[in-house]
Chains A and B, each alone.
Chain A
Amino acid sequence: MQYCDCTPTEVRFYRKSTDKLQECLETLNQQNLAFILDVGDLIDRDYNSFDTILQEYQQAKAQVYRTLGNHDYSVEPDQLAEVPARIGLPPAGYYDFVHENWRFIVLNGTEVSTYTHPPGSKASQQAEKLMEELEKEGKSWAKPWNAGVSNQQLRWLEQRLKKARRTNQKVIVMSHYPLYPENPHNLWNAEQVIMALEQSGNVVAYFNGHNHAGNYGHKKDIHYLNFKGMVDTPDQNTFAAVHVYADHLQVQGFGREDSRELALG
């Protein structure tokens, strides 16, 4: 949503996000959904912006599962550590849950970044160094607005995927950052995450935001769907309902979001 009480630009209409979220939730509330996935960037900046957008979110009838986006960290340095708790997430920012033999894994793509930790901190310096290395390698996604996941989180992901496989669960993974196709918005270590998803054999889709234009790719039986950004237009909305079936996912797009049928297997 990237809400803030800020003057709009030609491509960001921050104050309009509350009205768009209200319309979105009114529509989704009528769909009797099992839950709502939010692909991150609740705010554009300012910690107080969370109050407004989370207040608007209270009208959601279904449980909302969130992921951390880069803009959620556009707050003062002493507020950074509070961000996951402020939006209702566990401290590490990544988690999973099960619904009717489907496992949903939510990654924290902001974990290693130049903005999640206070400027000058070891963690921030580590991220800057990593980005410089990626730049030297000529990676188009070596950008300061992107980020990466740690080895610890990757190991956790692999464990959860194994658990899903043992119990014959299909898996949908979500994070703020795209993994595929190759794009300047991608997660710094997208290739490592893709490898884990592909090796698992039970992941059917990966959902994300971050690239406001939206995107779609399909590789090795995994659908990569980048939902469009809500803040980009003065009045047109964009969101989707995903209906899950045994052999396909039906993406019902609203406003600027495209409708798609994603075959499984």
Chain B
Amino acid sequence: MIQLVTNGFYTMFVVDNTDEVFKIAKTEGFEVLSEPTDTFYGQRRLLLKDPNGALVDVSSPIPNFEF
């Protein structure tokens, strides 16, 4: 059996409205890796880099999305 060893981290903020955060990120001059996009797994996702170069995922659930 393989136990997963955690390694580093992936920061994800789940927010009500990703597009609102996107507006703020542009105003604040964050590096945008991917503008808000609806993903197939039910999240509207924005990808940013923080000032240290770490990946930051800002996502909001797509309303009425069903698996």
Residues of A within 8 A of B (CB): 63, 65, 78, 81-82, 85, 88, 90-91, 95-98, 111-112, 117-118, 121-124, 126, 130, 148-153, 188-189, 192
Q: Is B57 an interface residue (CB 8 A)?
A: yes
Residues of B near A149 (CB, < 8 A) are: 2
Given contacts A82-B55, A189-B2, A192-B1, contact A98 B67 (CB under 8 A): yes
Cα(A235)–Cα(B45), bound, Å: 38
Majority SS at the chain A contact face: mixed
Interface centre among A90, A118, A189 (most CB of B within 10 A): A90
Q: Is B29 an interface residue (CB 8 A)?
A: no
Closest-CB distance, B62 to chain A (whole angstroms)? 13
Q: Is B64 an interface residue (CB 8 A)?
A: no
Residues of A near B10 (CB, < 8 A) are: 81, 91
Q: Are A122 and B3 in contact (CB under 8 A)?
A: no
A-B residue pairs in contact (CB < 8 Å), sample of 10: A78-B53, A81-B10, A85-B55, A96-B67, A122-B5, A124-B7, A150-B2, A151-B2, A152-B4, A188-B2
Tier of interface size on chain B: 20 to 34
Majority SS at the chain B contact face: loop
Q: Are B4 and A88 in contact (CB under 8 A)?
A: no
Given contacts A118-B7, A123-B5, A151-B1, contact A88 B39 (CB under 8 A): yes
Q: Are A150 and B3 in contact (CB under 8 A)?
A: yes
Cα(A95)–Cα(B8), bound, Å: 21
Q: Is B47 an interface residue (CB 8 A)?
A: yes
Residues of B near A111 (CB, < 8 A) are: 4
Given contacts A65-B40, A78-B53, A85-B55, contact A151 B7 (CB under 8 A): no
Cα(A188)–Cα(B55), bound, Å: 29
Cα(A88)–Cα(B57), bound, Å: 12
Q: Are B4 and A151 in contact (CB under 8 A)?
A: yes
